[in-house]
Amino acid sequence: MAIKERMSGNEAVAYAIRQVNPDVMPAFPITPSTEIPQMVSTYIANGEMDTEFIPVESEHSSMSATIGAEAAGARSLTATSSAGLALMWEELLLAASNRMPCVLTLVNRTLSGPININCDHSDGMGARDTGWIQIYAENNQEAYDNFIQAFPIAEDPRVHLPVMVCQDGFITSHAVENIELLEDETVREFVGEYEPEEYLLNPGKPIAVGPYSVSNYAMEAKKNQEIALENSKEVILEIAKKFAAISGKEYSLFEEYRTEDADYVMLIIGSAAGTAKQAVDELREQGKKVGVLKLRVFRPFPAEEIAQALRNCKAVAIMDRCESYNGNGGPLGSEVTAALFRGKIMIETVNYIYGLAGRDFTVSDVSHVFSELEDLIEHGKEVEQYQYIRLRK
Q: What is the 3-state secondary structure (H, E, C) of 25-78?
A: EEECCCCCCCHHHHHHHHHHHCCCCCCEEEECCCHHHHHHHHHHHHHCCCCEEE
In the chain, where the domains are located: 3-247, 254-388
Report the C-alpha gap between 321 and 354 in whole angstroms: 5
Distant-in-sequence, close-in-space partners of 392: CB < 8 Å, separation ≥ 6: none
**For the domain with range 254-388, which CATH number is right: 3.30.470.30, 3.10.129.10, 3.30.70.920, 3.40.50.920?**
3.40.50.920
Partners of 320 in the β-ladder:
353
What's the maximum distance between 2 C-alpha atoms anywhere in the chain?
A: 73
pLDDT number for residue 200: 95
**For the domain with range 3-247, which CATH number is right: 3.40.50.720, 3.30.70.520, 1.10.10.10, 3.40.50.970?**
3.40.50.970
Report the C-alpha gap between 286 and 283 in whole angstroms: 5
The torsion defined by the Cα of 142, 144, 146 and 152, in degrees rounded to 10, comes to: -160
pLDDT number for residue 310: 98
| 92, 98 contact by CB (below 8 A) | no
Distant-in-sequence, close-in-space partners of 93: CB < 8 Å, separation ≥ 6: 130, 131
Tens of pLDDT, residue by residue, the chain (393 residues): 689 999 999 999 999 999 999 999 999 999 999 999 999 999 999 999 999 999 999 999 999 999 999 999 999 999 999 999 999 999 999 999 999 999 999 999 999 989 999 999 999 999 999 999 999 999 999 999 999 999 999 999 999 999 999 999 999 999 999 999 999 999 999 999 999 999 999 988 999 998 899 999 999 999 999 999 999 999 999 999 999 999 999 999 999 999 999 999 999 999 999 999 999 999 999 999 999 999 999 999 999 999 999 999 999 999 999 999 999 999 999 999 999 999 999 999 999 999 999 999 999 999 999 999 999 999 999 999 999 999 998
306 residue type, one letter: I
Q: Where are the alpha helices (DSSP H) in the chain?
A: 9-20, 35-45, 59-71, 82-87, 89-97, 122-126, 140-155, 184-191, 215-247, 272-285, 303-310, 331-342, 363-378
Among positive and negative, which fits the CA dihedral 132, 326, 359, 281? negative
pLDDT number for residue 113: 87
Decide whether 3-247 matches 254-388 in CATH topology. Answer: yes
| 370, 264 contact by CB (below 8 A) | yes
SS3 14: helix
Distant-in-sequence, close-in-space partners of 363: CB < 8 Å, separation ≥ 6: 275, 278, 279, 282
Report the C-alpha gap between 230 and 224 in whole angstroms: 10
